[in-house]
Amino acid sequence: MNHRRVSVVSLALAASIPRIVFAQEFLKNVQGGAKTAAEPSGLATGPELPVLIGNLIGAALGLVGVVLLVMLIYAGFLWMTAGGNTETVKKAQQQIKNAIIGLIIIAASYAITSFVLQSFSGPVTGGGAE
């Protein structure tokens, strides 16, 4: 009996709170959502999508470039410490060739990425007859 009385009082109290009773009308006045809330702090003005993608690709290419540099340094060290061992020299030469091929791939991917991002972020022209 006591549990039922507490439930009825809690339900009556919850129904009497205006924010809960008129929640639908209250939420109708909220416009803009998270963007409106984030604008005063400056968080709503992030970089545009092509700029963000370009930054991510640039960071990835930079990381691959660092790996390439480490590979070249390791191959050079391997070659210098070969001590006349032809197998080690051939292994180092092959690793240098692979690193140079990787450098060519990185340069080509950067050129393609740069071209594509400039094509998408540039102004759109009609190109039709006037």
DSSP string, 41-67: TT-S----HHHHHHHHHHHHHHHHHHH
Length of the chain: 130
109 and 59 co-located in one domain: yes
- CA–CA gap between residue 82 and residue 85 (Å, rounded): 5
91 and 116 co-located in one domain: yes
Look at residue 44 and tell me if it is in a domain: no
97 and 60 co-located in one domain: yes
54 and 100 co-located in one domain: yes
Give the count of beta carbons closer than 10 Å to the beta carbon of residue 57: 16
Tell me the per-residue pLDDT of 27-81, one tens digit each, with 9 for 90 and over. Answer: 555 555 666 666 666 666 666 777 777 788 888 888 888 999 999 999 999 999 9
Instruction: For tokens 């005063």, name the residue.
Output: 40
Residue 130: predicted pLDDT: 53
pLDDT greater than 70 at residue 92: yes
Output the six-digit token pair for 67: 């790996």
- CA–CA gap between residue 76 and residue 92 (Å, rounded): 7
Give the C-alpha distances (Å, rounded to integers) separating 44 from 41, 47, 56, 63. 8, 9, 19, 29
> Model pTM?
0.53
Residue 98: predicted pLDDT: 93
Helices (H), 1-130: 2-16, 18-21, 23-28, 33-38, 49-80, 86-121
30 and 88 co-located in one domain: no
Domain limits for position 100: 49-121
* Average per-residue pLDDT for the chain: 77
34 and 55 co-located in one domain: no
Look at residue 98 and tell me if it is in a domain: yes
Instruction: For tokens 């639908």, name the residue.
Output: 24
30 and 60 co-located in one domain: no
- CA–CA gap between residue 76 and residue 95 (Å, rounded): 9
Total domain count, the chain: 2
58 and 19 co-located in one domain: no
